[in-house]
Amino acid sequence: MSYSWNKPLENLPEEMTIIWSCVEEECKSWIRDSFSFKEQPVCPLCKTSMISSVKILPILISSDQEIKLYRKRQRAAEIS
């Protein structure tokens, strides 16, 4: 069995996440609220306004150590 750092993570835990979505129907741009630096962001692609909504997204893992621990647990679960 081969492991790679770039191997996609499967079965990541997800949560309801507040996002900002572009109001233009043709534009598919969105951003997590936690990555927005403005109270009312503007779409980075088409420069129109954005609206707040929610989306189920994978929980972001914040550090390399947490990623390594998560991958180690995933491998242990695969072996079991």
Paired sense of beta strands 50-58 and 14-22, if any: antiparallel
Tokens read off for 52: 């707040």
Q: Does residue 67 carry a pLDDT above 90?
A: no
Write the pLDDT tens digit of every residue in 18-58. 999 999 999 999 999 988 888 899 999 999 999 999 999 98
More confident residue, 25 or 69: 25
* Cα 43-56-42 angle, rounded to 5 deg: 10
Burial class for 15, CB neighbours closer than 10 Å (0-12, 13-18, 19+):
exposed
Q: Where are the domains of the chain?
A: 16-79
Q: What is the pLDDT of residue 44?
A: 93
Quickly state the pLDDT bin for 6 (edges 50, 70, 90): low
What is the C-alpha to C-alpha distance for residues 24 and 14, in angstroms, rounded to an integer? 27
